[in-house]
Structure 1
Amino acid sequence: MQKYSYLTKLIMFGCILCTVPVIFFGILSYLQSSNEIQKQVNRGQIQLLTQMNSNVEQILRTINHAFDQLVNSPVMAKVLSEPFTADDFMLYKDLRKEISNTQSFYTKVEDVVIVNIKQDWMIKNSGFYTFSDYLHHFQIANQMLLPSSTSWVLNPSIWFYSEEKANAAACPYTISLVKKLPDQSLDKYGLAFTNLTTCSLAEILNYTPRESETIMILDDQERILFHSDPGMIGKYAINTEFIKNPSVLSQSSGQYQTEVDKQMYTVTYLRSSYNNWIYLSAISIDSLTQDSKQIGRNTLVVCLIIVAVFVIISWLGSRQMYNPIERLMREVGGKSPGGGGKRSNEFDIISSQVQDLFQSKNKLEKEAQQHLQQALAYFLIKMFQGKVRRGDLMEKMEQFGFSGILSEWKIISVITLQIDTLENTRYGKEDLELLLFAINNIIEEIIPAGVRLPPVFIEQTQVTMIGGDQPSEEFNGFMFKLTESIQQTVHKVLGLEISIGISLPFTDPKLASVAYREGLEALKQRIHLGGQLIISYANINEGKHQLNLDYPYLTESELLDAILLADEDNARQYLSNFMKIIFKHEMPPQEYQISMVRLFTSLMVSMQESGVALNQLMPRGSSLYEELNALQMTTEIEEWFWVRVISPLISIYRDRQNSQYHSISEKIIDMIHKHYDTDLTIEQCAAQLHYNANYLSGIFRKETNTTFSDYLSAYRFNMAKKWLTETDMTIKDIAERLRYLNSQNFIRSFRKLEGVTPGQYRESFRKRGQ
């Protein structure tokens, strides 16, 4: 319901009170003579407009239904999601078929236009176009700015100029049903238009206006879609003489009177609930009420005079009564109700302004509290990091309201909490910050506010200062009980395993940064103790001598050899053995880090000597040393060495071997064939080929399925049989040439392999030749 200012109400009340009796008696005769005629006309006009609305909406709903089937069809989904060009003939043919189903004689659809702005193409009746080359592509693309994904819009027909009807320009405007595509997606990058010419509305309405009657259809922007005068189509309703103020059409239906060319008209309108179009009929009152015309004129003149007089009187009196309210409005900063926009009662404005003042106050208090919490967290982080000057520390504590509880604490400790691992949990690394925030909330619920400062998290560590007035032994027991409760609650609520480090007790809050470092140092004990720990800094190496570790060089050498030979199973076993040897001793975390760095350095040196580039292991450009130093758990360190270094190196060496082994074995065989009659050894081959002898022996065995010495002996034996059958060389000469120490050793070896002596073998061969 429209609201009026209090001043307007006063004036209206005075005018009504003074003029209603006069107006009532003055217009009684006019109403009696024209009332019945007007009623009949009004009812007839409402029925007429209802019928027009029904005819048009039936066509529009049919078009909308058919258009929905088109835009949601599989063909449309395909052309929108996949690259589509003029060369896709079959897809274009299928799309044209779907479009033709939308157009029918009954719906009067003139054209269907599909635009894909992302892929820069447009399809309409006249064919396929590159959208950016189309003359009116900018205007069409602006339809994406429509507030709704489906809209009925009046557009110039020239935007959709069709080459199929190059001479048809009788209808300058088109009614377009615009849908943003894809229909079911939030990311809209296409448009679909189904165009209905405004000229076809006359056929749909199927109505001939009476004399002095004007029929109009307005869209939701109050532009004229249909008019008895076609030249008015496309203009705004305000440009017509029947609608001087669009606010008269604010209801769903109604009637009003207006004057056009000094002639009064009764205007009946009906607003469609489907698309908010307005159907309007204007008929001259003179043509309907000829008999009461004179009475109406006289009554109008008298009423206008009386109303004018009493309006002036009411206005003057009301202004005097309204002055106090106006002053109060200015004090609270309210806008004048008559200043345009939606009018409101002055008392509503005053009430609203007072409520706004209270809301602004509450909002400012809330924002100030949020900023205070952020400043407090920032201060605590700086305090734990040792970046707050000692002189400012207690002053800041007092500003944040902690001086009271600090004065009650006789003993203080800092706990540091870290998540052990996210593996085998439902979380990822991207959830780490959110998990620490959740742990903060758990700590705030478990630890009473009077014995702690607000918890904060620094990088990946949650830090809390806790204090109390108990003796030292009771406080230590309280701390372990409290940390156990935190650990159990986090595991129960979040399903995470955490470790907690407890600093040494202290009394001066200025030592908070030292305590924070002690907590971090305690957490490093996870490297040999495992995860899910609660460990106090006081227990680190308490009463124990440190062990000087003998570095396992042999295991490291075996590991490096297995990697070079691309022996994945042995490499994995040697790595596991190396880790067991290192971590079976209890040492400070720094000692473990030294051993890990030594192993890593040996791997890097071996890799460099083999000609493997470092970027083959680090395609992301990260630092492997930084990754290694960041690891805290034994299992994580072993898995890191295997995944990030050893396994990639084995893959590289295996690829090399597949191409090099065959070549190396062929070179060794060639050397055997050329130098079989010398004291040839695998070491000589290795020296000549510049390889390690054990490495070459392994390669030769892998490629030939036999050892170097067995292959050499077999080849010499074959040469011996050849000389026995093809030459007259003595057995002694053959034995010497094949590097036997004496002929008897050669004879024994030959008999062992062939079952006969060399002489018997030569004799049997010659007998077979005869």
Structure 2
Amino acid sequence: MRSEIRYMQSFDTRLEDVVLINKRYNWMIKNSGLYTLDEYPYHKQLAELMEQAENSTWVLNPSEWFYTEENARSVTCDYQISLVKKLPTTGLDQYGMALANIPACSLQDLLNTDTQQPYTDIMILSESHQILMNADSSLIGKPVSETGLTGLDQLSGQHGQFTTEIGKKPYAVTYLRSQLNGWIYLSVTSIESMTKESYKIGTYTIYVCLLMLLISTLLAWLGSRRMYSPIQRLLSQIDSLLSLNNKRKANEFQLIGEQVHHLFQSKSRLENEVRQHIQQVRTLFLMKAYQGNMRQGEIIEKLQQFGYGTHMSEWHTMSVITLQIDSIDNSRYEKQDIELLLFAVHNMVEELIAPERRLAPVIMDQTVVTLIGSPDSDEHTFRNELYGLTEQLQREISSYLHLQVSIGMSLPIQTFTNMPIAYREGLEALKHRIKLGEGIIIQYENINSGKHYLNLNYPKHIEQELKDAIKVADKERSKELLKQMIQSVLDAPLSPQDYQIPLARLLNNLLIVMQESGVSLNQIHQGKGSLFEELLDLQTAADIEDWYWTQVVHPMIRIFRDRQDAQYHNISEKIIDLVQRYYDTDLTLEECASQLHYNANYLSSIFRKETNHSFSEYLTAYRFNMAKKWLAETDMPIKDISAKLRYNNSQNFIRSFRKLEGMTPGQYREKNAEK
């Protein structure tokens, strides 16, 4: 072992001695031989090294601890830097120790290089500011204050720099604290010596700059002579365009600059005029495309011409959104501001939706319309993205313009030729504000079983209102409109045979509405005969109105109401399920809307219609039912119950409980305990 220890000594690292100590078996091995530990003169000091907190650490020790009397003369340095490592390294009971000793004086020899500046002193300090390395070996092991260095309180950081005085001369001190062993490496530099060197550098810099300035001046002079010849030729070409006054009052560069600026202005004006005309033509094309006044092939051709080729090649799923301002009656705006507000909304749509995701928005009949597309073929993913986009749009408009808007979304389409159908579906969705109120975002699939609206055009306004009322299952409004419709048809000066045409047309359009909504004829008419034949057999206005109501309109209203009730009930059940699962969190209606992918106002209207309670009322009632259950069946403290039910403090919970139950939670628990 002694032989192997000697092999570990390295000339490069100046490692002089390796010591192995076994406290349990009372022996020590080092270069000079094997010793009984408790007979070694400095065994107490060496044993104290095992009391270090870390398993491995660097320690500065006197050299005499490691040398016996027979080789004490060979000691060249008073201190040794020891790497102390407890053994065994993996056990809990560490009864041994290994020390690798390096003479502290040898560290200075490693740093004595040719590049070291004579005015720079490098020191290494321990964590307790004890000198580990210094050019003066007599200072090793002593506090750094004995060197005359002041300002040691600034050594608290990991690294830094400060100035101090040594012997009334200024010095710059740069330090770095090692993260490995906590040593502090100091570089103490004389500012006076650095200043002398900087004067030399400054002198050399001035000479170099003067030389570069002289060379640059010469090159500039030669270059200007070569550059002026093309300028002179250019000036001669525009000479005929200049008046005598302009030639006198401006130099050559000013004259050329004015002419170039004039050309750019002319080019910019021309480009702006062309751009405005293109935008106007594009807007007219999009309006005609949405209204269905263009052939399918023409739509594709025009989209290519207006720069939408990339959209056509990349988009796989599209949808039309229609945006309308709900009301400005209770806002700061006047009715004459509606056109300006629509223009502002139009601009916000352009800014908030990236051009690669939309066609240019247009304003049609006080409605902002645009087509949004996505490369994603999954319709469910596209709907979620589109819903998030419209929610952001609604929030931004409300924040900046303080306006409440409603947004309708069509069913997803896969081809641009279906733009007219999608546009009608977006408008159709907006009509459900009659039932759901303002500030809604509604998808057409929520009102029409996911089937596309047929692109029909029937100009009778009263009939359109009747169809709208039937779709939203408004019984009273439908009955009133039916009466007005029959009356207006029969008031016309027609022959008895001619009355059959508008009456049959009304029946036909109502049946089309029924089919578009996915309702079969058997659901409203169980008989084997034809509805048209039954209609033509009627003779009086009262019979016709009653027949339309009992055989067509009222059955359709029942079907639409059942469909809405089923949908509303399903949505309400989902909200109730969220309440029952997350009642002990900070649950809000907005979080429910986000999880169910609906607008919060839309959910609020449906939930109140289905439960006759608002969301907050239902959540509060459910939490109180859980509180009463815990009070009656468990020993849970009232403070914990109030915390689980999201009350800020138990006093608020007690006051609310007393208000609803007429007693405090503690009284309620005692009352149930008596039972």
TM normalised by structure 2 equals 0.32
Larger radius of gyration: 1
TM normalised by structure 1 equals 0.29
